[in-house]
């Protein structure tokens, strides 16, 4: 195994080993990609305050997310098409998360199904759902998640329509993918990836095909996808989803304090401050800039997590110090998955954990639950005072 010291090491291997179509799907944002870039670069504007001559022994990064014990305040975010980054990718990622002791969230647009992941893991995982118009499908999706003993449902509310991602259009990346001569030729150069794909039967959207009414092949999937996303979504509709699911509920995709307050009112247990990794509204605030005004608005009414832009344990530490209960990683673990499968996801978690643990200690804390804004130096006007 190559020496991996940071997430960028995994990213470089990922780029070499995975077809361009799927690497670009991971590493892209919408339109000019301003928000995609600032999700990460805005973390660099926040400085850590180093302390010395403070006892650093017997440290702990253990905490809870929505009442569940976790090894560190991190969850693996839902990522569509994970099973195309590495064969059976969702299963590999879920197994790595389970062994490490952090939550894994399965995407509705996954290659492996809920049942596939449940059959290959022993602990509950979280299930992400989109706000679709098909009530029959939604009710059965929640029922399947319950049967699989999923410990939380995550409703993504920022995908009523799809942000334009130039790379995906140029690569023919859609649901299902439209393979071109160029993309197939590129796949032929990724020998390890191809051999692994030949050994699995899971190549399609396992949570949809055979479960959504009338979806039996690529053409019918395209039609269903185009028609199912609900552009008329409102908070009353989200209340209907709350009634379909009686377990812990997380609402993902909140970037404005007003929407955070609405999420409190529909009975959610937690919200995720997220701009969909910069893949929806380009020019929106980075998640880390949006976090503090949301914390000010909701106070202790609801648990707040942060997603989008996390590439290191220091990013996790900064998010927690700004008030988030935990941080979600997407691209950071996908790099590992594409690079080295399950072992790569584990390595990504190890890297982030070590960075979090050491940085926390150097800031004068032994317990992640005691970390607060005092460890940060944040530029004036970082989170607001817009004209």
CA 267 – CA 250 distance, rounded (Å): 9
Alpha helices in 266-367 (DSSP H): 287-298, 313-321, 331-362
CA 291 – CA 305 distance, rounded (Å): 9
CA 362 – CA 375 distance, rounded (Å): 10
Beta-carbon contacts of 122 under 8 Å, excluding residues fewer than 6 positions away, are 98
Of the candidates 351, 332, 275, 297, which has an alpha carbon nearest to the alpha carbon of residue 36? 275
Active site residue 276: yes
End-to-end CA distance of the chain: 51
Tokens of 358: 């050491």
Residue of 14, 276, 305, 353 marked active site: 276
Residue 276 is given by DSSP the state G
The CA-based diameter of the chain, rounded to the nearest angstrom, is 66
CA 121 – CA 125 distance, rounded (Å): 9
Whether the Cβ atoms of residue 137 and residue 107 lie closer than 8 Å to each other: no
309: phi > 0 → left, psi -120 to 50 → alpha, else beta; which? left
Catalytic site positions: 276
């Amino acid at each position: 195994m190559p020496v991996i010291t940071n997430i960028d090491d995994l990213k470089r291997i990922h780029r070499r080993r995975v077809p361009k179509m799927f690497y670009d799907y991971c590493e892209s944002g919408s339109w000019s990609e301003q928000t995609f870039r600032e999700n990460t670069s805005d973390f660099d504007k926040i400085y850590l305050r180093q302390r010395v001559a403070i006892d650093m022994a017997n440290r702990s990064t253990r905490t809870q997310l929505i009442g569940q014990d976790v090894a560190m305040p991190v969850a693996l975010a839902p990522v569509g098409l994970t099973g195309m980054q590495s064969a059976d990718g969702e299963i590999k990622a879920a197994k790595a998360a389970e062994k490490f002791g952090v939550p894994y969230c399965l995407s509705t647009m996954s290659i492996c199904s809920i049942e596939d992941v449940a059959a290959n893991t022993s602990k509950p995982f979280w299930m992400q759902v989109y706000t679709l118009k098909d009530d029959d499908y939604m009710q059965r999706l929640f029922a399947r998640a319950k049967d699989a003993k999923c410990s939380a449902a995550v409703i993504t509310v920022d995908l009523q329509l799809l942000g334009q991602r130039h790379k995906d259009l140029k690569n023919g990346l859609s649901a299902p993918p439209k393979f071109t001569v160029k993309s197939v030729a590129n796949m032929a150069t990724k020998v390890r990836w191809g051999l692994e794909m030949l050994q699995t039967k899971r190549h399609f959207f396992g949570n949809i095909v055979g479960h959504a009414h009338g979806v039996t092949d690529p053409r019918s999937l395209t039609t269903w996808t185009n028609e199912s996303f609900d552009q008329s979504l409102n908070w009353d509709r989200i209340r209907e989803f709350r009634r379909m699911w009686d377990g812990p509920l997380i609402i993902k995709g909140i970037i404005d304090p007003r929407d955070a307050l609405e999420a409190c009112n529909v009975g959610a247990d937690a919200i995720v401050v997220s701009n969909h990794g910069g893949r929806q509204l380009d020019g929106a605030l980075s998640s880390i800039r949006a976090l503090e005004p949301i914390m000010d608005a909701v106070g202790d009414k609801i648990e707040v997590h942060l997603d989008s832009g996390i590439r290191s344990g220091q990013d996790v530490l900064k998010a927690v110090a700004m008030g988030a209960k935990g941080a979600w990683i997407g691209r950071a673990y996908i790099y590992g998955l594409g690079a080295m499968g399950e072992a790569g996801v584990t390595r990504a978690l190890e890297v982030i954990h070590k960075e979090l643990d050491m940085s926390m200690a150097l800031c004068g804390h032994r317990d992640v639950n005691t970390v607060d804004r005092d460890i940060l130096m944040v530029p004036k006007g970082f989170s607001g005072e817009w004209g």
